[in-house]
């Protein structure tokens, strides 16, 4: 926050460039609808009031991390997916002339 500026609706330090979380509102509403839940039923499962869930779904409130975790569990997804993150994929390092990889049961094994 710069001197003389007013704090944002969530307090000082919000709204600074790079500090804002992506809006999860559209994902929350979409997940609830895909689950076939009413606002009241989803709120009960997440242990929230329907009014609070409505505010989250319309973007008038930003959820805390513990609340995001509870909502992700309610809808059978992850916090990362709610935030629109994509998993980082690292390329494996393979040494020339070294033993190759062996795959079994969905796991990749490398010999040392």
Band (pLDDT 50/70/90 cuts) for residue 75 is very high
Range name among 2-6, 49-53, 74-78, 83-87 with the lowest pLDDT average:
2-6
| Fold topology of 25-82 | 434 Repressor (Amino-terminal Domain) (1.10.260)
| CA distance linking residue 23 with residue 39, whole number of Å | 19
Q: Please give the structure tokens belonging to residue 89.
A: 């994929």
Quick: pLDDT tens for 5-39: 444 444 444 444 445 556 889 999 999 999 999 99
Q: Which residue has the tokens 């309610």?
A: 74
For the chain, percent of residues with pLDDT exceeding 70: 74
């Amino acid at each position: 926050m710069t001197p003389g500026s007013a704090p944002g609706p969530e307090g000082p330090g919000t709204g600074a460039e790079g500090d804002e979380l992506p809006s999860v509102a559209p994902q929350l509403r979409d997940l609830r609808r895909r689950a076939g839940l009413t606002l009241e039923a989803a709120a009960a499962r997440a242990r929230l009031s329907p009014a609070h869930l409505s505010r989250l779904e319309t973007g008038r409130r930003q959820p805390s991390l513990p609340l995001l975790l509870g909502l992700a569990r309610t809808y059978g997804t992850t916090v990362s997916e709610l935030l629109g993150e994509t998993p980082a994929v690292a390329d494996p390092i393979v040494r020339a002339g070294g033993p190759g990889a062996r795959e079994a049961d969905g796991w990749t094994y490398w010999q040392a």
